[in-house]
Amino acid sequence: MPEVNQSICSVSHITHDCYNSSKPPCNNQHNSKSDSNLHLHSHSNSHSHSHHISGLENINLKLKISTAITILFVIAQVITGFYTNSIALISDAVHNFTDALALIIALLSIWLQKRPVSLSKTYGYNRAGILAAFINSSSLMVIVAWLCYESVHRMFNPQPIETKGMFWIALIGLIVNIGIGLAIHKESKHDITIRSAYIHMLGDAAGTLGIMLGSIIIYYTGYNVVDPIISLGISILILWTSWSILRETVHLLLEGTPKGISVENVSKEIEIVTGVRAVHHIHIWAIASQVTALSCHIQVDDMNLSHCQTLLLNINSLLKEKFEITHTTLQFETSATITNNILSTKQTCQN
């Protein structure tokens, strides 16, 4: 049996996303008796990575079709908006255009996420989706400002509206938005970029309903001021739907704990595992919308490396099943190691 397997796991740094017991150790594994830090790198996450890529391929076609339909509808809506002199239709066209941008950005982020990792980008381009959602939601703020200004101006200077064209183009828009929303609903639950596009679709569906109702009111009452009021409502709707995405993306870009995960609960669950004494220095963050990472120090008894590997698998199985955390870096420590580190630190400070 190789000597390294007999080493006491006093201090070991084990990265889960490289581990696979059927594969040989990585080339950079430390095998020196004199090295107090033993790093084991392995790959047990290949299945989930393949599943992630397969999921990206499935949504890719849906996004391409949805983008093409949305762009064609935006063109039709802009033409109709100028023809009917409806600021509400133009506002909704702008909203639909941002939907198209959201879909294009989602496509771009999927393409980037499929690119392989490199020495300069060890996490690859997984965070591109989060960055794309941030850019998309931020750009909406500028558009909303213009729409609000134009709507208020039209409220004091109402103009005649051609209501029939306004109604029928809004009805088509409602069908388009509902169709695309249903197509990407499943994927929106797991990816913030797709969710950004999905929320846009819901907001635009509500906006088209408002336009249809407004066209009916204007047709029967002649109150053209209803049109800019609807436009202002759509602007507020855009602001509301984009703000939640903007807030969440900023949180993730600042490496905040992903939504729905409690650091305290994760720590308590790890400490329940047999062989674990305590957990500290725990960090949880999102590499991508569907990839959550964790690193922490775990205090254990002195044990052979083979026992450390068993403990590692038990902890990672727990994290994957209960919290969907698939990328982990666990540093095992013993009480003797912690004591030695404290004494070494004190001695350095005194010198």
pLDDT, residue 48, reads 45
What is the model's pTM? 0.63
Q: Which helix (H) or strand (E) holds 198?
A: helix 192-221
Q: How distant, in Å, are the alpha carbons of 164, 191, 331 from that of 287?
A: 49, 12, 20
Poorest-pLDDT segment among 119-123, 128-132, 169-173 = 128-132
Can you give the pLDDT at residue 15? Answer: 44
Q: Which residue shows structure tokens 């994927």?
A: 187
Would you state the pLDDT for residue 325?
93
Per-residue DSSP letter, 16:
G
**pLDDT band at residue 314 using 50, 70 and 90 as cut-offs:** very high
Q: What is the mean pLDDT of residues 27-54?
A: 41
Whether the pLDDT of residue 213 is over 70: the answer is yes
Among the listed ranges 56-60, 166-170, 212-216, 242-246, which one has the minimum average pLDDT value? 56-60
Q: Please, what sign has the CA dihedral across residues 269, 275, 281, 283?
A: negative
56-65: average pLDDT? 74
Contact 200, 188 (CB under 8 A): no
Q: Can you say how many angstroms the Cα of residue 61 is from the centroid of all Cα atoms in its chain?
A: 20
Residue 328: the pLDDT is 92
pLDDT higher at 128 or 58: 128
Residue 136 is predicted with a pLDDT of 76
> What's the whole-number mean pLDDT along residues 147-171?
86
pLDDT for the residue 340: 53
| pLDDT at 76 > cutoff 70 | yes
Q: Which domains does the chain have, with CATH numbers?
A: 3-44+258-350 (3.30.70.1350), 47-253 (1.20.1510.10)
pLDDT, mean of residues 34-53: 41
Q: How confident is the model at residue 329 (pLDDT cuts 50, 70, 90)?
A: very high
More confident residue, 233 or 8: 233
More confident residue, 81 or 194: 81
Alpha-carbon distance of 151 to 143, in angstroms, equals: 12
Average pLDDT over the chain reads 76
Q: Could you tell me the sign of the dihedral formed by the alpha carbons of 217, 218, 220, 223, in that order?
A: positive
**φ and ψ at 10, to 5 degrees?**
-75, -45
Return the pLDDT at 41.
37
Q: What is the mean pLDDT of residues 111-124?
A: 80
User: pLDDT at residue 45 above 90?
Assistant: no
Give the pLDDT band of residue 56 (cuts 50, 70, 90).
Answer: low
pLDDT of 330 = 92
* Predicted local confidence at residue 339, as pLDDT: 52
The per-residue pLDDT for 3 is 39
The reported pLDDT for the residue numbered 281 is 92
